[in-house]
């Protein structure tokens, strides 16, 4: 009950951690979409040598362990690493970069599958009517809108609920890089179960609410 009470009373710690988690994971998802959707368009609508291998690689990368990716990025961003000059380690930006890379295979694989499910005749019809490549892509994306949207939501939920990258690249610094998953791990180890329960409930409510809202919107759309 105390955990629920922390949420209902608007506990500042809960609100701060939740807000940072939403900003970091939301930004990471948007950043990932900037390159993932164009890649998925290329994989689904273009023919090139090695296409099947590329698709298989992205599918395989969906299951990459977050700690493995976190360690690789830690070595890159650490003071002695190739990107240490930018001093990104233990900042929200580091978490955002790590999460955006983590969810890229999800957006690419799921979006490519949604785009490939569009009737090929639609593309041929658009070309016949004089549509450019860009206009053709816009038409296909519109037809596959909900499939691509679900891919983006799956990516956001993956980023929002991951622990390894947030811990290794963010350092779990209070009011700076402490997100829901790292805070849950910390407070549980400290024995503050009430706060852990409150944060866990928020984590579950956010991920479930986003998915449910998208599904309801999809069903209500003609």
| C-alpha angle 212-25-220 in degrees, rounded to nearest 5 | 20
d(Cα 190, Cα 14) in Å, to the nearest integer? Answer: 16
Report yes or no: 149 and 214 within 8 Å, Cβ to Cβ. Answer: yes
Q: Is 183 exposed, middle or buried (0-12, 13-18, 19+ CB in 10 A)?
A: buried
Residue 73 clears pLDDT 90, i.e. is over it: yes
Confidence of residue 132 (pLDDT cuts 50, 70, 90): confident
Residue 96: what pLDDT? Answer: 97
Residue 66 clears pLDDT 90, i.e. is over it: yes
- Reading phi first (left if > 0) and then psi (alpha if -120 to 50, else beta), residue 90 is in left
What is the largest distance, in Å, between two alpha-carbon atoms of the chain?
66
Q: How many residues are listed for the chain in this entry?
A: 222
User: How is 33-46 classified by DSSP, letter by letter?
Assistant: HHHHHHHHHHHHH-
Residue bearing the bigger pLDDT, 133 or 18: 18
Residue 161 clears pLDDT 70, i.e. is over it: yes
Report yes or no: 107 and 153 within 8 Å, Cβ to Cβ. Answer: no
Residue bearing the bigger pLDDT, 199 or 128: 199
Confidence of residue 120 (pLDDT cuts 50, 70, 90): confident
d(Cα 111, Cα 195) in Å, to the nearest integer? Answer: 37
pLDDT digit string, tens, across residues 93-117: 999 999 999 999 999 999 999 998 8
* Domains by residue range for the chain, with CATH: 2-220 (1.10.3720.10)
d(Cα 156, Cα 211) in Å, to the nearest integer? Answer: 10
Residue 222: what pLDDT? Answer: 61
- Tell me how far CA of residue 85 lies from CA of 79, 89, 90, 109, 118, in angstroms: 7, 10, 13, 33, 45
Q: What percent of the chain has pLDDT over 90?
A: 72
Residue 171 clears pLDDT 80, i.e. is over it: yes
Place of tokens 């900003």: 23
**What mean pLDDT do residues 201-205 have?**
96
- What's the chain's average pLDDT? 91
- What is the model's pTM? 0.92
């Amino acid at each position: 009950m105390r955990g629920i009470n922390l949420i209902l009373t608007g506990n500042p710690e809960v609100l701060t951690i939740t807000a940072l988690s939403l900003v970091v994971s939301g930004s990471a998802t948007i950043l990932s979409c900037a390159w993932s959707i164009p890649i998925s368009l290329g994989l689904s609508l273009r023919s090139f040598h090695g296409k099947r291998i590329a698709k298989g690689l992205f599918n395989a990368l969906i299951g990459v362990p977050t700690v493995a990716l976190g360690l690789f990025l830690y070595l890159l961003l650490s003071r002695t690493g190739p990107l240490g000059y930018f001093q990104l380690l233990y900042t929200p930006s580091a978490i955002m970069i790590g999460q955006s890379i983590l969810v890229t295979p999800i957006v690419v694989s799921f979006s490519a599958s949604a785009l490939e499910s569009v009737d090929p005749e639609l593309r041929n019809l658009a070309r016949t009517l004089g549509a450019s490549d860009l206009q053709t892509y816009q038409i296909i994306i519109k037809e596959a809108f909900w499939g691509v949207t679900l891919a983006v939501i799956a990516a956001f939920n993956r980023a929002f609920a991951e622990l390894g990258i947030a811990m290794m690249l963010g350092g779990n610094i209070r009011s700076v890089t402490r997100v829901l998953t790292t805070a849950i791990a910390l407070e549980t180890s400290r024995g503050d179960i009430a706060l852990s329960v409150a944060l866990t409930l928020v984590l579950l409510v956010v991920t479930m609410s986003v998915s449910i809202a998208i599904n309801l919107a999809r069903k209500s759309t003609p």
